[in-house]
Amino acid sequence: MQRLVNRLDKMATSRNLAITIITSMIVISIMSIGTQSLVYDVYGEADMPDLMFRYDIDDVSEAFGILGSEGLDVWLTVHLLDYIFPAAYSLALAIGIITGINKLDLENQSAKLMSLIPIFAGVFDCFENIIIAQQALAYPNLSASIISMGSFFTSIKWLFLYLSFVLVFFILIWGVWRRVSRNNEKPPDEV
């Protein structure tokens, strides 16, 4: 784990942060536009499981039923990008967390371990994607136990993702608070 944190620490540059944020934005934009125009506008609006916090076989069956086999094939093609997106957003959040920790002068390796939280979100997102894709390919022969496992991975993904955003938010607030505190401590310039 520490080796991964050290590697992330070396990657924590403004340039890499910008690249991963831009990559995330491009991928999610393409996925959103593709899903809307190629899937939902043609086959119907469906609440897909990867966007829910948790789901069961009935939710998945309903969503897949709306799209049908042909719509699911198109959805699966568009969502190949959903294997790139977790890598991009998890790296962006991890680099953002480490960059914030470094700017706050917290050279504590334990604090930098928090950068693994978004990495875990990305890993669980990939597990979720594999399970949902497998079930889409198996449709209409869905497995309640596999869908239950997918729902578990999805819930864990969302928990790690929410926690990642909370960490980024607190690091930003702490940084602003420290900057304001330093400015208030400076003596006024004499004229």
What gap in Å lies between CA 162 and CA 180, rounded to an integer? 27
pLDDT of 181 reads 86
Tokens, residue 108: 């504590």
**Per-residue model confidence as pLDDT tens for the chain (191 residues):** 889 999 999 999 999 999 999 999 999 999 999 999 999 999 999 999 999 999 999 999 999 999 999 999 999 999 999 999 999 999 999 999 999 999 888 777 788 899 999 999 999 999 999 999 999 999 999 999 999 999 999 999 999 999 999 999 999 999 999 888 888 877 666 55
The answer to whether 188 and 91 are in contact (CB under 8 A) is no
pLDDT of residue 190: 54
Q: At what angle do helices 85-103 and 116-138 cross, to 10 degrees?
A: 170
Tokens representing 89 are: 């957003």
Q: What's residue 178's pLDDT?
A: 87
Dihedral sign of CA atoms 155, 157, 161, 167 in order: positive
Written as six digits, the tokens of 37 are 């125009």
Confidence (pLDDT) at 188: 65
**Residue at token pair 């491009």:** 26
Q: Of 49, 76, 78, 77, which is closest to residue 62 (Cα–Cα)?
A: 49
Let me know if 107 is exposed, middle or buried by CB neighbors in 10 A (0-12, 13-18, 19+).
exposed
Peptide bond into 118 cis (omega under 30): no
The residues near 77 (Cβ < 8 Å, ≥ 6 apart) are none
Q: What is the pTM of this model?
A: 0.89
Per the listing, tokens 């003596």 go with: 187
